[in-house]
């Protein structure tokens, strides 16, 4: 397991366990990830929140590799990281970093991806990029493995060709994990999404500031406001992404455009309102779906129970539904509040509430699942 810089946040995540499907466990304790037959990998932005989660997920899933490079900015170069009982020195990212690298996992921001992604591809590396740099490039597949794996079916390690694959925005991933199984059954014509987004979406520094502000406010002190320029603790506000001329912010338009690309449906109508809430690392989303053909709530519940990567928490009797705490540090996206939209006749609409870990399925896990499909 990697030594994670975010471990001091863990006590915020304790809650009742999220119900998950049984997973087979190995009967031995020997680590099988380091294998001579595995690919060589590089993690770009390894010291950041998602970079650290890349390492955690690689270890959790026993991803096979014969070597791993830890890459970051010049400022972080020289730091030592322990991963799966081996110590590594963080190297400065340069154009020469990708020599002999089969798969590079990028999470260092869009400008770094734009500069170094094509360089890596030219050297035969397959880049899985977590930024928004290439998501809307028509030549670059935008992939959620449970949703549209066919988009990258011709890209494999060992064919001698580099390639770019884009990881969707975290809010898009979490939403479409729940909406897609229903879309495949009844075809979504219109989707209205309201998001309640955690600090982790803005990185480890935002998580640290939320923790600091909470202490400061409870102690009667003025909150430190460096990341969002306004009080975050005990407050909510419109997502900090830039506002566009149409009145939407960039985060909202990511959901609109990425959904259309992933579903390969330029006509689906999507609108979103994205909000920051004082939660550490898991997003919540209210999703209203309008369908072409009728879909009743019981059928929808059954579809979601059988959807990969989805768990249903929908207990009306005890008023128990998904919460960010229950999905933090979990792989599955949780869905509940499954009910017929009373404003639409003939079972043509549903409301659902979705929660998912932004750092994990919303970023690192999705990227590692993409990497697994390359093998």
Crossing angle of helices 297-305 and 170-186, rounded to 10°: 120
Q: What local confidence, expressed as pLDDT, does residue 160 receive?
A: 82
Least confident stretch, 9-23, 76-90, 359-373: 9-23
Q: What local confidence, expressed as pLDDT, does residue 197 receive?
A: 98
pLDDT at 22 over 50: no
Please give the C-alpha separations between residue 353 and each of 57, 199, 202, 246, in angstroms, as whole numbers.
26, 19, 22, 27
Catalytic residue status for 274: no
Q: What local confidence, expressed as pLDDT, does residue 37 receive?
A: 83
pLDDT at 3 over 50: no
Per the residue annotation, which of 170, 175, 274, 355 is the catalytic one?
170
Q: What local confidence, expressed as pLDDT, does residue 32 receive?
A: 53
pLDDT at 131 over 50: yes
Average pLDDT over residues 139-154: 97
Q: What local confidence, expressed as pLDDT, does residue 292 receive?
A: 98
Question: Percent of the chain scored above 90 by pLDDT?
Answer: 88
* Whether this model's pTM surpasses 0.95: no
Nearest to 258 by CA among 167, 129, 359, 358: 167
CATH for 172-360, among 3.30.360.10, 3.40.50.2300, 3.20.20.140, 3.40.228.10?
A: 3.30.360.10
**CA pair distance 231, 258, nearest whole angstrom:** 30
The helix/strand count (H/E) of the chain reads as 8, 15
- The CATH topology of domain 2-167+363-373 is Rossmann fold (3.40.50)
Nearest to 18 by CA among 362, 359, 327, 310: 327
pLDDT at 13 over 50: no
Nearest to 155 by CA among 170, 142, 174, 168: 142
Average pLDDT over residues 63-77: 96
Least confident stretch, 22-31, 45-54, 91-100, 214-223: 22-31
Identify the H or E element spanning 72.
Answer: strand 67-72
pLDDT at 105 over 90: yes
Q: What local confidence, expressed as pLDDT, does residue 159 receive?
A: 87
User: If pLDDT is split at 50, 70 and 90, which confidence band does 210 have?
Assistant: very high
Per-residue pLDDT of 220-253, as tens digits, reads 999 999 999 999 999 999 999 999 999 999 999 9
Q: What local confidence, expressed as pLDDT, does residue 18 receive?
A: 52
Average pLDDT over residues 8-27: 43
Q: What local confidence, expressed as pLDDT, does residue 219 receive?
A: 98
Side-chain half-sphere of 233: how many Cα atoms within 13 Å? 20
pLDDT at 6 over 80: no
Instruction: Specify the domain boundaries for CATH 3.40.50.720 within the chain.
Output: 2-167+363-373
Asked whether 2 and 359 are in contact (CB, 8 A), the reply is no
**CA pair distance 239, 196, nearest whole angstrom:** 9
Per-residue pLDDT of 335-353, as tens digits, reads 999 999 999 999 999 999 9
Catalytic residue status for 9: no
Instruction: Specify the domain boundaries for CATH 3.30.360.10 within the chain.
Output: 172-360
pLDDT at 33 over 90: no
Per the residue annotation, which of 175, 283, 348, 355 is the catalytic one?
283
């Amino acid at each position: 397991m990697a030594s994670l810089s975010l471990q001091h946040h863990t006590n915020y995540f304790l809650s009742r366990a999220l119900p998950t499907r049984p997973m087979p466990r190995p009967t031995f304790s020997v680590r099988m990830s380091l294998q001579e037959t595995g690919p060589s990998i590089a993690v770009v932005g390894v010291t950041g929140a998602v970079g650290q989660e890349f390492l955690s997920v690689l270890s959790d899933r026993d991803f096979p590799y014969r070597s791993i490079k830890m890459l970051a900015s010049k400022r972080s170069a020289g730091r030592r990281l322990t991963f799966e009982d081996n110590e590594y020195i963080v190297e400065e990212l340069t154009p020469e970093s990708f020599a002999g690298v089969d798969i590079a996992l990028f999470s260092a921001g869009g400008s770094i991806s734009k500069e170094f992604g094509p360089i890596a591809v030219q050297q035969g590396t397959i880049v899985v990029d977590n930024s928004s740099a290439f998501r809307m490039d028509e030549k670059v597949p935008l992939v959620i493995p449970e949703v549209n794996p066919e988009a990258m079916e011709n890209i494999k390690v060992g064919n001698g060709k580099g390639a770019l694959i884009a990881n969707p925005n975290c809010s898009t991933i979490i939403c479409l994990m729940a909406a897609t199984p229903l879309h495949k059954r009844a075809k979504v014509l219109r989707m209205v999404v309201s998001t309640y987004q955690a600090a982790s979406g803005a990185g480890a520094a935002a998580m640290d500031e939320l923790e600091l502000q909470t202490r400061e406010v409870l102690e009667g002190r003025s909150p430190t406001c460096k990341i969002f320029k306004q009080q975050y603790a005990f407050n909510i506000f419109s997502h900090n992404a830039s506002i566009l001329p149409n009145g939407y912010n960039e985060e909202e338009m990511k959901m609109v455009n990425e959904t259309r690309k992933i579903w390969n449906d330029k006509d689906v109508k999507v609108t979103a309102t994205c909000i920051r809430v004082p939660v550490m690392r898991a997003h919540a989303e209210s999703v209203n779906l309008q369908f072409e053909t009728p879909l009743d709530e019981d059928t929808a519940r059954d579809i979601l129970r059988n959807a990969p990567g989805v768990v249903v928490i929908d207990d009306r009797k005890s008023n128990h539904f998904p919460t960010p705490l229950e999905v933090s540090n979990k792989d599955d996206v949780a869905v509940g509040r499954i009910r017929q939209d009373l404003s639409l006749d003939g079972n043509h609409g549903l409301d659902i509430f979705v929660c998912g870990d932004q750092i994990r399925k919303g970023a690192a896990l999705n990227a590692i699942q993409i990497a697994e499909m390359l093998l």
